[in-house]
Amino acid sequence: MSTSLGTYLTRAGVPGDLSSVLLAVANSSVKVSDQLPFSAALTTNVNPSGERQTEIDIFANDEFAASLLATGSVAEVASEEMSESKKGSGKVHVAMDPLDGSSNISTNNPLGSIFGFYSGALPCSGLLLRGAAYLTYGPMLTLTFSTGAGVARFVAVRGADGSTEFTLLEDKIMIPLKGEVFGLGGPRNDWVEPVEHFVSSMEARGLKLRYGGTFVGDFNQVLGYGGIFGYPSLKKKPKGKLRILYEAAPMAYIMTQSGGYASDGHGDALLIEPTSLADTTPIYLGSPELVSELDSLIRAKDLGS
């Protein structure tokens, strides 16, 4: 007997406001997924991070923002694709990356959507996360989330009548402690030295490179096989590329809930205090021993410098 998302949330005692935003996100993801074949084109618009927006970036942003605000449970919706948050009448402060991996649309590689559910006004640190979720548009449409009691994954199943239901695929997901795969973004010759040294040592230990260019897709590889994903500090971009509120903190929350560890290279990534909505950070997430080992190398380099 499969467990629907609604039944699971009720049985797990997830607070009503978080349940309603998770259900809204799940419902909207089906519309985003169905729209993908028609909205791969680039627009002339640019987002607050200075990146050109695709039609699906905008479609997903508008779809998720509308359905989240319609729940009446959200205080605001901040988005990677908007310069200011949209205000609501509830208590959940939502920060979202409505479409993660936009560059992967034209090559039909995995895509995602990432959501952080904060208890305080944005921007704020990951310590104020009440929950986090991400969607994966891959071979399957899945919703992976935590509200503080472990990580669960649901898969979208389309019925004969054309309706879609999210049913439980896996509960209490735990990252393998032994790392098998690694993936770090950005040009290798631009990585700060400790990162380069660390990756060479992982290759020497036989870990396998897995890098697909979408945070969500690469995160899934690490969560499933054990290892480390990072978008590192670069010599030319010391604060890396991934946005704290919309990408790094929500995924750090989920990684921590799965028994993993997430760091900005100097400690727990959930402690980072962003000062603006689009602030970025270096981020390293995965099996705790590997991430802690990289922290130590970065710290040693700082002390030596």
Residues that bind ligand AHG (CB under 6 A): 51, 80, 97, 100-103, 185-186, 213-215, 231, 241
DSSP state for residue 131 in the 8-state scheme: E
Q: For residue 215, give the nearest of 51, 80, 99, 298 by alpha carbon.
A: 99
Q: CB–CB of 116/253 below 8 Å?
A: yes
15's contact among Mn ion, ligand AHG, none, with CB below 5 to 8 A by partner kind, is: none
Among positions 47-86, residues that touch Mn ion (CB under 5 A) are: 80
Q: CB–CB of 170/265 below 8 Å?
A: no
185's contact among Mn ion, ligand AHG, none, with CB below 5 to 8 A by partner kind, is: ligand AHG
Contacts by residues 155-159 (CB-CB < 8 Å, ≥ 24 positions apart): 156/26, 156/29, 156/30, 156/33, 157/2
Binding mask 194-213 for Mn ion (x = CB under 5 A): --------------------
Taking each helix axis as running N to C, give the angle between helix 55-70 and helix 16-35, from 0 to 180 degrees, rounded to the nearest 10.
150
Q: Least distance (Å) from ligand AHG to the CB of residue 202?
A: 18
Among 97, 218, 264, 295, binds Mn ion (CB under 5 A): 97
Which is it for the CA torsion 231, 138, 79, 88, positive or negative?
negative
Q: Specify the residue, 109 or 167, whose C-beta has the smaller distance to ligand AHG.
A: 109
231's contact among ligand AHG, Mn ion, none, with CB below 5 to 8 A by partner kind, is: ligand AHG
Give dist(CA 58, CA 81) in Å, integer: 7
Q: Specify the residue, 56 or 202, whose C-beta has the smaller distance to Mn ion.
A: 56
Q: Least distance (Å) from ligand AHG to the CB of residue 219?
A: 9
Token digits for 42?
Answer: 């680039």
Q: Specify the residue, 35 or 167, whose C-beta has the smaller distance to ligand AHG.
A: 35
* Residue closest to Mn ion when measured from CB atoms: 100
Taking each helix axis as running N to C, give the angle between helix 249-257 and helix 215-225, from 0 to 180 degrees, rounded to the nearest 10.
10
| Residue 271 CB-density burial (10 A; 0-12 exposed, 13-18 middle, 19+ buried) | middle
Q: Specify the residue, 202 or 242, whose C-beta has the smaller distance to Mn ion.
A: 242
137's contact among ligand AHG, Mn ion, none, with CB below 5 to 8 A by partner kind, is: none
240's contact among Mn ion, ligand AHG, none, with CB below 5 to 8 A by partner kind, is: none
- Backbone conformation region of residue 83, classed left if phi is above 0, alpha if psi is from -120 to 50, else beta: alpha
Q: How many residues bind Mn ion (CB under 5 A)?
A: 4
Q: Specify the residue, 158 or 188, whose C-beta has the smaller distance to ligand AHG.
A: 188
Residue 182 has, within 13 A of its CA and on its CB side, a CA count of 22
Token digits for 299?
Answer: 């710290």
Task: Name the segment binding Mn ion (CB under 5 A); options: 96-104, 131-139, 159-167, 179-187.
Answer: 96-104
* Residue 100 near Mn ion by CB under 5 A: yes
Q: Least distance (Å) from ligand AHG to the CB of residue 246?
A: 8
Instruction: State the residues that interact with Mn ion by CB under 5 A.
Output: 80, 97, 99-100
